[in-house]
């Protein structure tokens, strides 16, 4: 049975009532989000920009051209090679971080915490990292259509807004990832980092939405959240399985053979998601509700290259 | 099994209907899952959704089918045919002939008979009595009428066929005497190979056997003579087809003789050849038929042991002189007429002494008759002539009474036994009741000139051989009586390897000899071997005979003996329905 799982089980960042506890937040402050691509922000931030010029981090040399600032000529090279080269520096700009949380009805499943709660904690942690690094953070909710969004967050002082927004998300509606991505990116077409946290159990398919997002040249990171019961159902007997989102029913005799068939379908599905993301350069991390959010952020998202 | 209402079997059509209803009425529990996406993706395998899976795994359905099928069968009123057992005594008669070892009925005719008899025992009514008779060379009452099933079953389990030709008529008559009532049932299992079953009231024969061809060794023995030992192997073809049978004889594994015996239908041939040494000869006939048990035989090569002789006499010089040279192991003389002093001797010669009743043993009585012999003298006869004597009898072999003068003899009046020589009255008489074997010479040696004739030593040798050489000529089915000679018990090792402990009774060991072959008797004084031949030369006939009128009676009773089994099917249906209900109740709301 699908439930809004209580926040029992292992003590996580929000064990005391909030999504993230102070100790975890303190550890997050040492982290920053990683952009595989050089980003182009609007304001000066703490991130290497595609724009080379006045930054402090050396990036490259190029031949001197008339009009270049003399201060950037490398005189040591000029004395050895008798040619002028100009030192290039990376500009440090801010990063657009967009967090998209799946709040469909299926996300209510899971134990010891629901998939939705885990997704909210992950979004809170990632958003908080962005805020403390002066990135521009935007968080949105989607199910069958884009839900409420919280935009233009920047700086540590907006963390409370972020957490309060996430805390108010409840599960409901069907999943339509394609529609949600399209509307989100249409409304905010900037490049940047797009983190999608979803169970990808989309009857319409996840492929179209993710492919469309690539057209906006954003760096995508998909966090695939699944419940343990979805990976290995603990069912048996003559059952009428009802989809929590669509109400669609499937009659099935669950026995060892049926579970083997399910496992084969599950493996094919998960393998398909992973191959799809790899093929289109989408960073992908799969987790289950039994993995605590702090482990995911401090360990797996680091290994996955989203934070450092 | 017969059906009283076969049309009711149409009710079995309810079974496929039940299956169809089952498939249609599967009750499924509703379970909400986050998504059925992966379940629908597993659909193409169809393994989880095949309707037959419901049938395979549903104990409930199986119980329902069982209940429905049992009910349908019960409606058909099935009943079993069998011998009616009624309420009277039942006597089970088992043919224990050699031919019942034939394997044309699996595993053997006797084993099949035993199994069927066991079934009959299981169907006896409460308190109904049964008896068990084994038809061997002589009928044996293994268990008198009793309602003790355990005793009957144990006796049945230990019963075995003998190497004899059963006396079926005697066995059936004995069985009828055991159960004289009008409601008695005498169930006979036999192959009726040699004689039909007497058609007495209440007798129901069951004839077993299909094969008829058999060739076997019917006799194998070694004859000792002054020229040496000669082995005789006699084989008979009991079938209707000629048989070419290789014969091999060995001694302790070493070949001694081989030949090809060509036997026409119902033909008997004897192979003879000289043998020497000691030991056991084994003859093997290489023929394959339904009765393998008569293809091998054994014979003792050793000459029969000589008897020890005690002469109880006031003094008889001719007799004492002759005993010194006679073929005896040892000879002694005494005047003591107390039988206690005679122990340890195989033969006791009572010469003109008056004794009381003599214990079981071997006796040559000369001029006297022990009072417990059935030939009490009724006076004397003066100067009798030996008018006739039986020259064929082994005791009188080569004995010629011509010219023998007798002054006076006892007037014997034998009630049984056989008269070997006679004048006005029996002069030489032999008696053997199995426990007491005796030869009575009606006159004293001193009252005749017999000691001067050559017949005297020959008669004495023959008499001692007959009295002491009793182990010769033994046949299966006999009981060998051996004087205990003070021993309390002996061990009998049978040819099939079984060991039997025999206790002395009335100074005699009664050794049962159900099988042919070499028996070994282990006594405190040593070991003795006995060679036992087949109980009858016709024991190898295996062709099953007709059951006679008795079988018609049995068939009639089968009709009357229809045992209704439909109540059992009703019980089965009720049990299955109850089980289904209990299981369904227990599973209510649980896993299917």
Grouped pLDDT means (10 residues each) for chain B, 592 residues: 76 84 73 86 58 61 87 82 68 93 92 91 84 91 92 93 90 89 87 84 87 90 73 91 93 90 91 88 92 90 77 90 80 88 87 91 93 91 92 84 93 91 93 87 93 90 79 76 79 92 84 90 84 85 68 40 76 89 63 35
- Of B411, B405, B410, residue with least CA distance to B456: B405
Residues in chain A with CB shorter than 8 Å from the CB of B47 are 257-258, 260-261
Q: Which of B107, B100, B105, B81 is nearest to B204 (CA)?
A: B81
Spatial CA neighbour of B188 closest among B545, B540, B516: B545
Q: What's residue B304's pLDDT?
A: 65
Amino acid B499: pLDDT: 93
Residue A137, pLDDT > 80, answer yes
CA distances to A31, A36, A49, A154, A263 from A90, rounded to whole Å, are: 21, 15, 6, 22, 49
pLDDT of residue A42: 47
Instruction: Encode pLDDT of A246-303 as tens digits.
Output: 888 888 888 888 888 889 999 999 999 999 999 988 889 999 998 888 888 888 888 7
Question: Can you give the pLDDT at residue B589?
Answer: 38
Summarize chain A as % helix, strand, coil (round to 5): 35, 30, 35
B285 contacts B269 by C-beta, under 8 angstroms:
no
- What one-character-per-residue DSSP string does A207-248 give? HHHHHHHHTTTPEEEEEEEE-HHHHS----EEEEEEETTT--
Report the pLDDT value the prediction gives residue B51, as an integer from 0 to 100: 53
Buried/exposed code over B241-276 (b: 16+ C-beta within 10 A; e: otherwise): eebebebebebeeeebbeeebebeeeeebebeeebe
pLDDT digit string, tens, across residues B59-79: 778 888 888 888 888 888 887
Sign of CA dihedral A43, A48, A50, A55: positive
Peptide linkage before B107 cis (omega within 30 of 0): yes
Long-range contacts of A45-48 (CB under 8 A, 24+ apart): A45/A92, A45/A93, A45/A94, A45/A95, A45/A133, A45/A134, A45/A135, A46/A92, A46/A94, A46/A133, A46/A134, A47/A92, A47/A93, A47/A94, A47/A95, A47/A133, A47/A135, A48/A90, A48/A91, A48/A92, A48/A93
pLDDT at A224: 93
pLDDT for residue B560: 43
Asked if residues B489 and B502 have their Cβ atoms less than 8 Å apart, the reply is yes
Q: Is A93 on the interface with B (CB under 8 A)?
A: no
Of A201, A238, A249, the CB nearest to B35: A201
The residues facing B190 across adjacent strands are B207
Query: What pLDDT is recorded for position B366?
Result: 95
The Cα B231–Cα B270 span in angstroms is 10
Count the Cβ atoms, other than its own, within 10 Å of residue B5.
12
Residues B251 and B257: their CA atoms lie apart, in Å, by 9
CB B243 within 8 A of CB B263: yes
> Averaged over A74-81, what is the pLDDT?
86
Residues of chain B found within 8 Å of residue A227, distances taken between Cβ atoms = 34
Q: How many CB pairs below 8 Å do chains A and B form together? A: 118
Distance CA A148, CA A166 (A): 10
Interchain pair A239, B40: CB under 8 A: no
Distances (CA, A) of B165 to B143, B538, B558: 21, 7, 29
**Greater model confidence, A151 or B381:** B381
Which residue in chain B has the smallest CA separation from A259? B48
For residue A183, is the peptide bond before it cis, meaning its omega torsion is within 30 degrees of 0? Answer: no
Architecture of domain B309-470: 3-Layer(aba) Sandwich (3.40)
Q: How far is B33 from chain A (nearest CA, A)?
A: 5
Residue B557: what pLDDT? 43
Given this model, what pLDDT does residue A120 score? 93
The confidence band for A68, taking pLDDT boundaries of 50, 70 and 90, is: confident
ipTM: 0.76
Q: Which residue of B has its CA nearest to A254?
A: B48
- Cβ of A248 within 8 Å of Cβ of B590? The answer is no
Q: How many CA atoms lie within 13 A of B439 on its CB side?
A: 22
- Judged against a pLDDT cut of 50, whether residue A14 lies above it is answered with no
CA distance A29 to B252: 104
* Cβ-based neighbour number of residue A148 at 10 Å: 12
What pLDDT does residue B303 have? 66
Complete DSSP assignment for B207-223: E-------EEEEEEEEE
The beta strands (E) that lie in A35-145 are given as 44-63, 85-93, 96-102, 136-142
Was domain B216-286 assigned CATH 2.60.40.10?
yes
Instruction: Give the pLDDT of residue B587.
Output: 53
Least Cα separation, residue A126 to chain B (angstroms): 26
> Do the chains contact at A241 and B45, CB–CB below 8 Å?
no
Q: What is the pLDDT of residues A213-239, one digit of tens each?
A: 878 878 889 999 999 988 888 888 878
* CB B29 within 8 Å of CB A236: no
B309-470 shares the fold of B86-211+542-557:
yes
Helix residue ranges per DSSP H, B493-565 = 549-560
Maximum CA pair distance of chain B?
A: 132
Report the residue from A240, A243, A249 with minimal CB separation from B35. Answer: A243
Interface of B with A (CB under 8 A): 26-43, 45, 47-49, 53-54, 57, 590-592
Structure confidence at residue A88 (pLDDT): 74
pLDDT at A151: 81
Mean per-residue pLDDT, A113-125 = 92
For residue A110, CA distances in Å to A4, A169, A178, B411 come to: 8, 16, 24, 122
Q: How far apart are CA A11 and CA B37, in angstroms?
A: 32
In terms of CATH, what superfamily is B86-211+542-557?
von Willebrand factor, type A domain (3.40.50.410)
Cβ B42–A242 below 8 Å, yes or no?
A: no
Among residues A143, A280, A164, the alpha carbon closest in space to that of A222 is found at: A280
Chain B contacts of A261, Cβ < 8 Å?
A: 42, 45, 47-48
Q: Collect all residues of chain B within an 8 Å Cβ-Cβ radius of residue A1.
A: 31-32
B42/A262 CB distance under 8 A: yes
Q: Where are the beta strands (DSSP E) in B172-307?
A: 185-190, 203-207, 215-225, 228-237, 243-251, 254-263, 268-275, 280-285, 296-300
Domain definitions of chain B by residue range:
2-81+565-586, 86-211+542-557, 216-286, 309-470, 475-533
Q: Is A1 within 8 Å of chain B by CB?
A: yes
Which chain A residues touch B592 with a CB distance below 8 Å? 237-238, 253
pTM over the 0.90 mark: no
With CA atoms as reference, the chain B residue closest to A172 would be: B34
Identify any residues that bridge with B229 across adjacent strands, giving them in sequence order.
B224, B275
pLDDT of residue B141: 93
Residues B439-451: tens digit of each pLDDT: 999 999 999 999 9
A207 touching B (Cβ < 8 Å): no
Q: B-chain residues within 8 Å CB-CB of A144?
A: none
Please state, in angstroms and as integers, the Cα–Cα distance from residue B496 to each residue in A253, B163, B517, B518, B522, following that order.
63, 12, 8, 9, 16
């Amino acid at each position: 049975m699908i439930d809004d799982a209580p926040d029992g089980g292992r003590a996580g960042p929000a064990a005391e009532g909030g999504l993230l506890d102070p100790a975890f937040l303190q550890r997050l402050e040492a982290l920053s989000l990683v952009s595989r691509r050089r980003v182009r922000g609007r304001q000066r931030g703490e991130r290497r920009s595609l724009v080379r010029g006045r930054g402090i981090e050396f990036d490259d040399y190029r031949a001197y051209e008339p009009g270049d600032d003399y201060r950037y000529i490398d005189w040591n090279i000029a004395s050895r090679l008798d040619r002028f080269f100009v030192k290039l520096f990376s500009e440090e700009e801010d990063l657009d971080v967009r967090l998209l949380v799946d709040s469909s009805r299926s996300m209510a499943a899971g134990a010891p915490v629901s998939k939705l709660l885990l997704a909210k904690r992950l979004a809170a942690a990632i958003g908080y990292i962005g805020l403390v690094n002066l990135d521009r953070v935007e968080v949105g909710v989607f199910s069958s259509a884009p839900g409420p969004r919280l935009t233009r967050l920047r700086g540590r002082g907006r963390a409370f807004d972020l957490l309060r927004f996430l805390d108010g998300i409840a599960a409901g509606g069907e999943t339509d990832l394609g529609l949600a991505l399209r509307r989100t990116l249409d409304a905010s077409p900037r490049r940047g980092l797009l983190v999608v946290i979803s169970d990808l159990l989309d009857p319409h398919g996840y492929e179209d939405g993710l492919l469309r997002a690539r057209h906006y040249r954003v760096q995508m990171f998909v966090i695939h959240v699944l419940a343990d019961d979805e990976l290995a159902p603990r069912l048996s007997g003559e059952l009428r399985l009802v989809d929590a989102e669509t109400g669609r029913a499937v009659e099935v005799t669950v026995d060892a053979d049926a579970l083997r068939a399910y496992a084969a379908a599950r493996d094919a599905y998960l393998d398909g998601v992973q191959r799809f993301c790899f093929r289109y350069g989408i960073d992908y991390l799969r987790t289950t509700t039994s993995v605590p959010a702090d482990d995911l952020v401090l360990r797996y998202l680091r290994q996955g290259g989203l934070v450092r | 099994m017969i059906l009283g209402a076969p049309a009711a079997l149409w009710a079995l059509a309810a079974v496929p209907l039940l299956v169809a209803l089952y498939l249609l009425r599967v009750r499924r529990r509703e379970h909400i899952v986050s998504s059925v996406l992966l379940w629908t993706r597993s659909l193409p395998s169809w393994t989880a959704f095949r309707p037959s899976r419901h049938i395979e795994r549903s104990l409930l359905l199986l119980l329902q089918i069982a209940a429905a099928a049992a009910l349908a069968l019960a409606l058909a009123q099935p009943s079993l045919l069998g011998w009616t057992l009624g309420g009277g005594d039942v006597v089970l008669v088992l043919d224990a002939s050699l031919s019942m070892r034939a394997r044309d009925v699996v595993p053997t005719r006797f084993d099949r008979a035993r199994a069927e008899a066991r079934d009959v025992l299981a169907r006896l009514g409460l308190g109904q009595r049964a008896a068990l008779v084994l038809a061997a060379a002589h009928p044996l009452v293994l268990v008198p009428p009793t309602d003790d099933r355990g005793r009957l079953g144990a006796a049945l389990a230990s019963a075995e066929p003998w190497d004899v030709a059963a006396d079926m008529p005697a066995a059936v008559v004995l069985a009828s005497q055991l159960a004289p009532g009008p409601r008695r049932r005498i169930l006979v299992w036999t192959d009726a190979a040699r004689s039909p079953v007497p058609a007495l009231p209440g007798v129901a024969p069951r004839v077993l056997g299909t094969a008829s061809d058999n060739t076997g060794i019917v006799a194998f023995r070694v004859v000792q003579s002054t020229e040496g030992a000669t082995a005789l192997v006699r084989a008979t073809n009991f079938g209707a087809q000629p048989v070419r049978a290789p014969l091999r004889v060995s001694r302790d594994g070493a070949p001694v003789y081989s030949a090809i015996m060509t036997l026409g239908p119902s033909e008997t041939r004897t192979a003879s050849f000289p043998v020497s040494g000691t030991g056991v000869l084994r003859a093997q006939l290489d023929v394959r038929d339904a009765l393998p048990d008569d293809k091998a035989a054994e014979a003792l090569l050793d000459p029969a042991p000589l008897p020890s002789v005690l002469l109880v006499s006031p003094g008889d010089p001719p007799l004492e002189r002759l005993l010194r040279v006679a073929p005896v192991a040892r000879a002694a003389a005494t005047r003591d007429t107390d039988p206690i002093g005679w122990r340890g001797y195989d033969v006791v010669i009572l010469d003109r002494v008056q004794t009381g009743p003599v214990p079981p043993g071997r006796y040559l009585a000369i001029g006297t008759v022990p009072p417990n012999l059935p030939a009490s003298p009724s006076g004397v006869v003066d100067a009798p002539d030996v008018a006739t004597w039986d020259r064929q009898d082994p005791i009188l072999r080569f004995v010629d009474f011509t010219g023998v003068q007798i002054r006076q003899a006892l007037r014997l009046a034998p009630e049984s036994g056989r008269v070997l020589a006679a004048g006005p009255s029996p002069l030489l008489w032999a008696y053997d009741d199995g426990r007491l074997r005796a030869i009575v010479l009606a006159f004293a040696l001193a009252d005749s000139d017999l000691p001067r004739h050559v017949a005297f030593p020959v008669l004495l040798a023959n008499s001692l051989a007959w009295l002491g050489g009793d182990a010769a000529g033994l046949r299966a089915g006999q009981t060998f009586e051996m004087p205990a000679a003070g021993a309390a018990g002996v061990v009998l090792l049978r040819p099939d390897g079984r060991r039997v402990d025999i206790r002395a009774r009335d100074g005699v060991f009664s050794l049962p000899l159900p099988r042919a072959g070499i028996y070994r008797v282990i006594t405190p004084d040593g070991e003795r071997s006995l060679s036992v031949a087949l109980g009858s030369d016709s024991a190898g006939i295996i062709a099953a005979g007709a059951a006679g009128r008795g079988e018609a009676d049995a068939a009639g009773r089968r009709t009357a003996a229809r045992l209704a089994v439909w109540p059992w099917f009703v019980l089965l249906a009720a049990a299955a329905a109850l089980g289904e209900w209990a299981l369904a109740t227990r599973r209510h709301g649980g896993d299917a």
